[in-house]
Amino acid sequence: MRAYHDKFRGRIMLAQICDAAKIKINALPWLKQYMEEGRNKLCYNNVLGVCSHGQRCRFVHAPKTAIRDDFAAELCKVIKPGVEWLVRNGDAAPGPGAERRNGKQRRY
Ligand SMILES: [Zn+2]
């Protein structure tokens, strides 16, 4: 994940990662304690890096202690092809403060 975080500054674009890895988000590994009525409640953005929704996120931000190493390893393995694809082909995240410019992002 190092190259990914260097490029995207910790921002996780899970939909793009899954697209690039050719997997569905619901095919990702899950943790039993964060499943509710068969649906995942765990925020993967928060597990993998920084969740841009913060406090308003509709998913659960699990404490780091709840994320077991084997779960993290499995998750990383599943999304790895997508992460690597984005590192090679994705647009790098804009610099700090870019969000404040009315959502208009310059493409590099
Ligand atoms: Zn979240």
The pTM of this model reads 0.75
pLDDT at 38 over 80: yes
Ligand 1 centre from 82 Cα, in Å? 20
Q: Residue ranges per domain, the chain?
A: 2-93
Ligand 1 centre from 67 Cα, in Å? 14
In the 3-class helix/strand/coil scheme, how is 67-96 assigned residue by residue? CCHHHHHHHHHHHHHHHHHHHHHCCCCCCC
- Smallest CA-to-CA distance from 5 within 48, 55, 51 is with 48
Q: What is the pLDDT of residues 68-85, one digit of tens each?
A: 999 999 999 999 999 999
Which residues have a beta carbon within 5 Å of ligand 1, which is an ion? 43, 45-46, 51, 53, 57, 59
Mapped onto helix, strand or coil, the DSSP state of residue 60 is strand
Could you tell me if 34 and 42 are in contact, meaning their C-beta atoms sit under 8 angstroms apart? yes
Mapped onto helix, strand or coil, the DSSP state of residue 6 is helix
62 residue type, one letter: A
